[in-house]
């Protein structure tokens, strides 16, 4: 799609093969998870649910040692909560949900990756109708969770990579060097085939920073989701909602007169007002709804695609524990390998679709039909 | 109450699958007829497929 050179392609393939071996290792490490007191199927389901959630510590893997104790390998992350005052402590104090933390006179405990306020002994009151939902008060949680860490890492990675690309242009008289040779065609593809094609030659420039950032941000996070780090950032509905809200705000705050006219007066001057009223009673609410549905579809698509991909992969890995015979291993490996390859494609495709549709909406917002010159001055509020 | 949900999700996926399959097939025909319009057809195909997929996912989540 991007006219990659053969060498880059080979390096990429080698990189994926490398990542796959890591996944396989992670699979082996998960093995003791399947053997417990509970039913294997429920255990796998719980494991998948746990993986899809954000967590307060960066757990790389856990295993049950020879002494029968459960060991977790990873590192703790800071917990920042607001509950009539600021409480900060490291998530290691929770001991993976096994202990109650005391902070400035309040007690907190961890249940299914969520923080609840409890008494000193850590009692959780459950709703009789929903046995999985404690009714304890939940403080406002601003913690640096696993997803936040990954987003910060991606942000730093983007800054380093593209600062380097920009610098190499200055140094080499306009020729990219190093990793920039891989990213340059992608950047140019986004400019020519996404931004200019959808927004137009005149106005694409002010949207370019957002489009490029959002594309690489989503792509990198999707790819991180395939590594054995076990992160699921773009499959978190809060993250995709934030991205969609940005698209919504940009679309509406850069909207031209023609964009708003298309929403509130789509038929224009070609019809007497008395006729318009009856049509507009239905048409205008639909157009206003459309304003919100467009970014909503954007957020649901990315979230659902990434979550579905993770669930399928984890379920295939779980096949090992369901079969409990020699056939489970090769079958699970073969299927999850194939799905992983598809997921690599989906990771790129979803980033592309998100950027593409965002550019399309920006194109709607910045279009001006016949009298473009007249309104040129009052267009941009960015 | 479990079974109707599963059937609904399955029906939604069948519908989305038929839709995306038709788009892919028609795009193939279009590319065969006009290979020079490959890029434009592919873009339009991906957008339409993404929109249908979105509806499919929305149906699954509603179900």
B47, A201 contact by CB (below 8 A): no
Nearest residue of chain B to residue A192 (CA atoms)? B39
| Separation in Å, CA of A352 to nearest CA in chain B | 9
**Of A129, A131, A52, A146, nearest to A91 (Cα)?**
A146
pLDDT tens digit string along A324-333?
A: 788 888 888 9
What's the N-to-C CA distance of chain B in angstroms?
A: 11
Give the domain ranges of chain B. Answer: 15-62
What lies within 8 Å, CB to CB, of A231 at 6+ separation is A146, A147, A150, A221, A224, A225
| Separation in Å, CA of A353 to nearest CA in chain B | 7
* B47 contacts chain A (CB < 8 A): yes
pLDDT tens digit string along B32-63?
A: 999 999 888 988 888 888 778 777 877 776 66
How far is it, in rounded angstroms, from Cα A317 to Cα A315? 5
Task: Answer yes or no: do B61 and A304 touch at CB < 8 A.
Answer: yes
pLDDT tens digit string along A142-151?
A: 888 888 999 9
| Local structure of residue A133 (DSSP, 8 states) | -
* A241 contacts chain B (CB < 8 A): no
State the fold for domain B15-62. F1FO ATP Synthase (1.20.20)
- In which residue are the tokens 């695609």 written? A305
Task: Answer yes or no: do B57 and A300 touch at CB < 8 A.
Answer: yes
* A196 contacts chain B (CB < 8 A): no
Q: Which ranges of A105-175 does DSSP label H, i.e. alpha helix? A: 146-171
User: What is the three-class DSSP state of A366?
Assistant: coil
Q: What is the pLDDT along chain A (382 residues), one digit of tens a residue?
A: 444 445 555 555 555 554 444 444 444 444 444 444 568 888 888 888 888 888 888 877 777 777 777 777 778 888 888 877 788 888 777 777 677 777 777 778 777 777 887 777 777 777 777 767 777 777 888 888 888 999 999 999 999 998 888 888 888 777 877 778 888 899 999 999 889 988 888 888 899 999 999 999 999 999 998 888 878 888 888 999 999 999 999 999 988 888 888 888 877 777 777 878 888 888 888 889 988 988 988 888 899 888 888 888 888 888 888 887 888 888 889 998 998 998 898 899 899 999 999 999 999 888 776 544 444 444 443 3
Distances (CA, A) of A59 to A24, A71, A76, A96, A318: 17, 10, 8, 10, 19
Task: Answer yes or no: do A353 and B43 touch at CB < 8 A.
Answer: no
Task: Answer yes or no: do B57 and A353 touch at CB < 8 A.
Answer: no
What pLDDT score was predicted for residue A209?
92
Burial A175-198 (b: 16+ CB within 10 A, else e): ebeeebbbbbbbbebbbebbbbbb
Q: What are phi and psi of A272, to 5 degrees?
A: -65, 150
**Which of A309, A346, A357 has the highest number of chain B CBs within 10 A, making it the mutation to test binding with B?**
A357
Q: Report the DSSP pairing between strands A78-82 and A140-141.
A: antiparallel
How far is it, in rounded angstroms, from Cα B63 to Cα B58? 8
Q: Whats the size of chain B, residue-wise?
A: 63
How far is it, in rounded angstroms, from Cα A224 to Cα A219? 9
Task: Answer yes or no: do B50 and A353 touch at CB < 8 A.
Answer: yes
- ipTM for the predicted complex: 0.71
């Amino acid at each position: 799609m991007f006219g990659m050179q053969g060498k880059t392609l080979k390096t990429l393939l080698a990189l994926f093969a490398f990542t796959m071996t890591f996944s396989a290792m992670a699979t082996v490490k998960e093995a003791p998870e399947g053997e417990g007191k509970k039913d294997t199927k429920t255990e796998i389901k719980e494991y998948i649910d746990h993986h899809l959630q954000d967590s307060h510590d960066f757990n790389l893997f856990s295993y049950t040692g020879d002494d029968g104790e459960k060991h977790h390998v990873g590192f703790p992350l800071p917990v920042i909560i607001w509950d009539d005052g600021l409480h900060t402590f490291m998530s290691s104090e929770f001991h993976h949900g096994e202990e109650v933390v005391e902070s400035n006179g309040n007690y907190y405990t961890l249940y299914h990756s969520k923080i609840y306020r409890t008494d000193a002994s850590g009692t959780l009151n459950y709703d009789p109708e929903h046995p999985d939902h404690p009714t304890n008060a939940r403080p406002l949680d601003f913690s640096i969770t696993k997803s936040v860490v990954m987003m910060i890492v991606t942000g730093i990675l983007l800054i380093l990579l593209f600062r380097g690309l920009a610098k190499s242009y200055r140094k080499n008289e306009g020729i990219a060097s190093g990793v920039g040779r891989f990213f340059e065609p992608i950047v140019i593809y986004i400019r020519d085939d996404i931004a200019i094609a959808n927004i137009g030659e005149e106005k694409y420039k002010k949207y370019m920073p957002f489009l490029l950032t959002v594309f690489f941000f989503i792509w990198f996070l999707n790819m991180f989701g395939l590594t054995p780090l076990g992160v699921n950032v773009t499959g978190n509905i809060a993250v995709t909602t934030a991205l969609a809200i940005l698209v919504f705000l940009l679309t509406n705050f850069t909207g031209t007169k023609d964009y708003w006219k298309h929403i509130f007066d789509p038929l224009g001057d070609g019809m007497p007002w008395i006729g318009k009223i009856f049509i507009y009673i239905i048409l205008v609410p639909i157009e206003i709804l459309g304003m919100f549905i467009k970014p909503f579809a954007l957020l649901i698509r990315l979230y659902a695609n990434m979550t579905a991909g993770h669930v399928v992969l984890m379920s295939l890995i779980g096949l090992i524990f369901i079969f409990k015979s020699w056939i489970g291993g090769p079958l699970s490996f073969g299927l999850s390998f194939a799905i992983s390859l598809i997921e690599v494609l989906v990771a790129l495709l979803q980033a592309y679709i998100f950027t593409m549709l965002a550019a399309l909406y920006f194109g709607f917002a910045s279009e001006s039909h016949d009298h473009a010159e007249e309104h040129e001055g009052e267009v941009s509020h960015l | 109450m479990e079974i109707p949900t599963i059937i609904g999700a399955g029906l939604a996926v069948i519908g989305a699958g038929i839709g995306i399959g038709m788009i892919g097939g028609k795009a193939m025909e279009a590319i065969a007829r006009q290979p020079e319009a490959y890029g434009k057809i592919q873009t339009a195909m991906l957008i339409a497929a993404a929109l249908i997929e979105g509806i499919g996912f929305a149906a699954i989540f509603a179900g």
